[in-house]
Structure 1
Amino acid sequence: MTAPDVPLPSVARVFRSRAVVELKEFFRQREAVVFTLMLPVLLLVVFGAVLNFDLGNGVSFTQYFMAGIIAAGILGASLQNMAISIATERSDGTLKSLAGTPMPRSAYFVGKVVQVLAVTVAIIVILLLIGVVFYGIDLPAGSDWLTFAWVTFLGSASCTLLGIAISSLAKNGRSASATVTPFALLLQFISGVFFQFSEIPSWMQTVAAFFPLKWMAQGLRSVFLPDFMAAAEPAGSWEHGRIALVLVLWCIAGLLLCVATFRWQDRSTK
């Protein structure tokens, strides 16, 4: 007697299962949770306590900093987390094993994207809650929430794709953090996360404009700050159209880089 044919699970079920696996693996890694989820919270608490001064016209530095720290949190959940975790899984053979299973390879990336979205939402909720309760942050109002949503979505998508592409730069999993973290910190310092962007040297502003974090932070400032603060931006306005265009272009560029550079195993194991 032959065994009855067992129907293969649907693609949707495979995607859902992979997403659950990615979420469980992330939240079981204490170091990853602390670094990705809690670091932005700690930075908000420290900077909010030490630098809670008035920028003028009743706008506190904490109100300004909220946009930057949310942008930094998104960068950590997407670019840093993706680059380090994928490089580690490539180095320890996880990617090679997954590539040899019947699972569609696209399911792996779907799981990673779901993980990024879940962590991003958690970071934003926690930061907003702490900001409102302890620092009196004014939340966005009306259509600003829509701007908040599309800036977050496009910023997270572009940084996720860039993180997947950057993962191939690391020689192995052990060197991934040393490769990615300095790059991410540099972007944060020149993109208006820790300081007012108008106080950063103009040549640094120019360099920052080539990367998505600067535009994501600018878009988030537009929903947390009053309209008159747009005069302090390089163009004297929030430039929502340009922000959307740059982030979309980065999504396209990131996707092309992923296709061109992604590897399922280390170079040394080929």
Structure 2
Amino acid sequence: MSETATATAATPAAPAAPNRRLPSTLRIGLSRAAMETRLFFREREAVIFTFSFPIVLLVLFGSIFAGDLEGTGITVSQLYTAGLIGAGVMSVSFQNLGITIAVERDAGVLKRLAGTPMPRTAYFIGKTLNVLLLSVLEIAILLAIGVLMYDLDLPSEAGRWVTFAWVFVLGVSGAALLGIAVSSLPRTAKSAAAVITTPFVVLQFVSGVYIPITQLPGWLIDIASVFPLRWMCQGFRAAFLGDAGVSLELAKSYELDKVALVLGAWVIAGLLLCLTTFRWKSRRDG
């Protein structure tokens, strides 16, 4: 046997490289959520627009329209607080999410992500968790203003907090799924804000956010009743205004069973729309 062969035989084989498991979809989704949140707070314009708009409107309307409503002991400011919580949640979950995804698609970000080993589900987990965090922050700020400036009483009954919790979960879920679905409508990033913001602004006016639902014409109420915002606001009024505000509702009831039915239906409809309409590439990419 040659010296080379002898040396080769005497050299121990290198240990095999350990099989490294890829991170789970949930772990990747959590990392995406952390990154999405950092990117959001680095964009000062997006932060200011997303959080300040409902806050400014609450301070303005709450200061301009003072006084009690029909002897209920509820002030107009407190009514606006409950309504703008619904609008603030939908602003984060529908408007901001829809515009962001449309811009990312137009810039080719989604196309590049789709070509990576990252599970596509992780992208949506990251977006959803980011929306949940921003929605909680939005609600906390609006509630703080309502309590400190307009004497809004936080619920003292566990049942009303339970109502708030399920209205929040169903509302955020349905609005976020709808935001993902409508992100495919804008042809370019430049048109995203106009295409998505315009219908949202109209919905706010017909859903009882700025104008009490009882003062709207019937045909506008019928239109608003199709969409989730009206029912989100009604559910939040049930949580934060309680029995004192029930007389301000159309049916003299908060109709929480109907609130759950409509919001749940929008979760299912939003999911179906996402599955059938979502695109990872812009129209110019085919």
1:153 corresponds to: 169
Deviation at 1:7, TM superposition (A): 3.5
Q: Does 2:105 align with 1:90? A: yes
Distance in structure 1 (CA, Å) of the matches to 2:221 and 2:84: 18
Deviation at 1:230, TM superposition (A): 2.1
In structure 1, what residue type is equivalent to 2:31? S
What does the per-residue CA deviation read over 1:155-190, in whole Å, with 9 as the maximum and x for residues that have no partner? 111000001000011111111001011100000000
Q: Does 2:156 align with 1:141? A: yes
Deviation at 1:35, TM superposition (A): 1.3
Would the alpha carbon gap of residues 178 and 111 (structure 1) be closer, same or farther in structure 2, given more than 3 Å must change? Answer: same
Distance in structure 2 (CA, Å) of the matches to 1:185 and 1:2: 63
Q: Higher mean Cα deviation, 133-142 or 96-105? A: 133-142
Q: Unpaired runs of 5+ in structure 1?
A: none
Distance in structure 2 (CA, Å) of the matches to 1:223 and 1:114: 23
2:114 corresponds to: 99
2:10 corresponds to: none
Q: Does 2:211 align with 1:195? A: yes
Distance in structure 1 (CA, Å) of the matches to 2:34 and 2:222: 40
2:197 corresponds to: 181
* Match of residue 121, structure 1, among 122, 131, 136: 136
2:54 corresponds to: 40
Distance in structure 1 (CA, Å) of the matches to 2:267 and 2:179: 11
In structure 1, what residue type is equivalent to 2:255? E
Q: Higher mean Cα deviation, 98-107 or 27-36? A: 27-36
Q: Secondary structure at the match of 1:170?
A: coil
Higher alpha-carbon Rg: 2
Distance in structure 2 (CA, Å) of the matches to 1:233 and 1:173: 39
Note if contact 2:83-2:233 (Cα within 8 Å) is conserved in structure 1: yes
Deviation at 1:231, TM superposition (A): 3.1
Distance in structure 2 (CA, Å) of the matches to 1:3 and 1:194: 67
Q: Unpaired runs of 5+ in structure 2?
A: 1-13
Distance in structure 1 (CA, Å) of the matches to 2:23 and 2:244: 55
In structure 1, what residue type is equivalent to 2:265? L
Deviation at 1:228, TM superposition (A): 4.7
Note if contact 2:214-2:248 (Cα within 8 Å) is conserved in structure 1: yes
Distance in structure 2 (CA, Å) of the matches to 1:50 and 1:193: 15
Q: Secondary structure at the match of 1:55?
A: coil
Q: Secondary structure at the match of 1:54?
A: coil
CA-atom RMSD in angstroms: 1.5
Distance in structure 2 (CA, Å) of the matches to 1:108 and 1:11: 9
In structure 1, what residue type is equivalent to 2:68? D
Distance in structure 1 (CA, Å) of the matches to 2:242 and 2:232: 17
Distance in structure 2 (CA, Å) of the matches to 1:59 and 1:193: 16
Count of residue pairs brought into register by the alignment: 270
Q: Secondary structure at the match of 1:59?
A: coil
Deviation at 1:221, TM superposition (A): 1.0
2:261 corresponds to: 245
Percent of aligned positions that are identical: 49
1:29 corresponds to: 43
Alignment of 1:12-27 (within 5 A): 12-27=26-41
Q: Higher mean Cα deviation, 226-235 or 119-128? A: 226-235
Q: Does 2:124 align with 1:109? A: yes
Deviation at 1:98, TM superposition (A): 0.3
Deviation at 1:39, TM superposition (A): 1.3
Q: Higher mean Cα deviation, 79-88 or 42-51? A: 42-51
In structure 2, what residue type is equivalent to 1:177? A
2:95 corresponds to: 80
Q: Secondary structure at the match of 1:133?
A: helix
In structure 2, what residue type is equivalent to 1:232? L
* Match of residue 254, structure 1, among 263, 266, 270: 270
Deviation at 1:29, TM superposition (A): 1.1
Q: Higher mean Cα deviation, 81-90 or 29-38? A: 29-38
Distance in structure 2 (CA, Å) of the matches to 1:72 and 1:258: 22
Distance in structure 1 (CA, Å) of the matches to 2:56 and 2:197: 17
Q: Higher mean Cα deviation, 206-215 or 231-240? A: 231-240
Q: Secondary structure at the match of 1:180?
A: helix
Distance in structure 2 (CA, Å) of the matches to 1:243 and 1:153: 12
Q: Secondary structure at the match of 2:69?
A: strand
Q: Secondary structure at the match of 2:153?
A: coil
TM-score (norm 1): 0.96
1:233 corresponds to: 249
What does the per-residue CA deviation read over 1:181-232, in whole Å, with 9 as the maximum and x for residues that have no partner? 1100000000000011101111100100000000111111112224253233
